[in-house]
Amino acid sequence: MIRKKEKGFTLVLSLVLLLVMSLMGGGLIVISSTDHQSNNSSDQFQQTFYVAEHALLEAQKSLINKMMGPVSDDGRTRNEDIRSIPTNVDEDISLLNQNTPCYKSFRNLPRGNNVVEHKQNLQFWDTINPILDAAAADFGSADDIAAETRRMQKFRYEYFSVNAGSTSYKTSGMSLKKTSGTLQRQGTAYRIYGCGILGDVSKPEIIIPLETIAIISHWVIS
């Protein structure tokens, strides 16, 4: 009788231990899956932030090209005959659309104001593609490159800029912040707004808005 009880107790104990280990294993799988999803989400937010920074750089480059004249096809000279100080223009010229998710992301932006230009639904892939092609050997197999291509093609950006008027600043450069340098110069201040976008621009999965102020010196067109 005692041996039968011991065998019964051993069987119950084994079943309890098996149940506990199964629950622990399931818990570890859930935790691992959650961590993986969290890492993917963090990576997407980080990449979208980089795309937003790129939007600001593209906006600044566009302003400088207008101020100094567009770069010629040979990439060595500029067409200085059409250079001018970028000014705020009507919506028909700037293509301003105040209904985009990016534009609406800036709560402190006065509605109804004209802007210098408004560039929308720009492919970040167009910028990164030449770099990826040049370094294709470092990205692994063809499948890895194809997967990275599909991922990067999901990112887009948008930017618009506003002429905020003439200002003086201390610097010796061409497009710098007010506090840098020691020389007093005159320039035009621009408020630049840019967004990094993941997914459909009308209903983005992630959108990160950034803004900055750039001052372009008047000496570049004197």
21: in domain: no
Q: Which residues contact 172 (CB under 8 A, 6 or more apart)?
A: 181, 182, 183, 185
**DSSP notation for 81-122:** GG------B-HHHH---TTSHHHHT-TTSPTT--BSEEEEEE
What is the C-alpha separation between 194 and 109, in angstroms, rounded? 13
What is the C-alpha separation between 152 and 149, in angstroms, rounded? 5
The residue-averaged pLDDT of 8-20 equals 58
Q: What is the pTM of this model?
A: 0.71
* pLDDT-wise least confident of 89-98, 126-135, 136-145, 210-219: 136-145
Q: How confident is the model at residue 129 (pLDDT cuts 50, 70, 90)?
A: confident
115: in domain: yes
DSSP percent split of the chain into helix, strand, coil, nearest 5: 50, 25, 25
35: in domain: no
Count up the domains in the chain and report the number. Answer: 1
22: in domain: no
pLDDT, one tens digit per residue, over 21-58 is 665 555 555 444 444 445 567 889 999 999 999 999 99
Q: Which residues contact 156 (CB under 8 A, 6 or more apart)?
A: 51, 121, 122, 123, 124, 197, 201
Please, are residues 214 and 63 in contact by the beta-carbon 8 Å criterion?
A: yes
Q: Which residues contact 202 (CB under 8 A, 6 or more apart)?
A: 100, 101
Determine the structural domain holding residue 206 and report its residue range: 41-221
13: in domain: no
Q: Which residues contact 88 (CB under 8 A, 6 or more apart)?
A: 94, 113, 114, 115, 116, 162, 163
Which tokens sit at 47?
């990449």
97: in domain: yes
Residue 145: per-residue pLDDT: 78
118: in domain: yes
Please, are residues 48 and 151 in contact by the beta-carbon 8 Å criterion?
A: no
Give residue for tokens 């009308």. Answer: 202
The most confident of 2-11, 27-36, 105-114, 152-161, by mean pLDDT? 152-161
6: in domain: no
